Amino acid sequence: DTEVTQTPKHLVMGMTNKKSLKCEQHMGHRAMYWYKQKAKKPPELMFVYSYEKLSINESVPSRFSPECPNSSLLNLHLHALQPEDSALYLCASSQRAGGDYGYTFGSGTRLTVV
Amino acid sequence: QKEVEQNSGPLSVPEGAIASLNCTYSDRVSQSFFWYRQYSGKSPELIMSIYSNGDKEDGRFTAQLNKASQYVSLLIRDSQPSDSATYLCALSLSGNEKLTFGTGTRLTIIP
């Protein structure tokens, strides 16, 4: 299995809703990442998990809350989002944390906040 | 100066020709370099990685790295319409836990 699976593929949520994005990999990778990508822009790093521990938070607003229940799963909990948070949210994994290893990206969740 | 710079394009190349994509970077201690391909509305896909000076070939793709001049390039031979996509250059610093992405170059292969 060489995939990173993200669910849901599309999500529309209101500004008062609470929702979660899910990411799963079974490649034995010990680093997992959340990225946000706006149209015609490169991916922006949000969070890095290394061995299930949060190692980087790129000053992301608290309305985004990551969780890593085990080495295969990564969640992103969303609450009280703003319309400007609408974007493609990408999960990625790599063998170990660190840019020496290429990332495998999931197919992403297209989020629209209304 | 941006950490990773790419010409945003669009770069138009006739089918069957060689497409040449370039990326320059500012930090001399950058260690690992990657090229990702991203189709519109899809996620990035790793197509090449290169870690040492010189050329690395994989099928129709060749990555070239010159650390002294701080650039990395991607050549696509025998370009096909299916190569039309945005190509993202990414790099990492030794011991750094993240990749830094360039803004991407949009490539269009003209049949």
CA distance A33 to chain B (A): 9
Tokens coding A29? 């990778």
Do strands B100-101 and B11-14 pair parallel, antiparallel, or not at all (unpaired)? Answer: unpaired
According to the model, what pLDDT value does residue B99 have? Answer: 87
Q: Does the beta carbon of B45 lie under 8 angstroms from any beta carbon of chain A?
A: yes
Under-70 pLDDT residues of chain B: 1-2, 94-95
What mean pLDDT is reported for chain B? 92
Separation between Cα atoms, residue B78 and residue B30, nearest integer Å: 30
Residues from chain B that touch A105, judged by Cβ atoms under 8 A, are: 43-46
- Report the percentage of chain B scoring pLDDT > 70: 96
User: Among partner residues A88, A102, A107, which is closest to B46 by beta-carbon distance?
Assistant: A102
Residues 6+ apart with CB under 8 A from A108: A6, A9, A37, A88, A89, A90, A91, B42, B43
Are B100 and B94 in contact, with CB atoms under 8 Å apart? no
Separation between Cα atoms, residue B90 and residue B3, nearest integer Å: 10
Sign of the CA dihedral with A51 first, then A53, A58, and A61 last: positive
Q: What is the pLDDT of residues B24-43, one digit of tens each?
A: 998 877 789 999 999 999 99
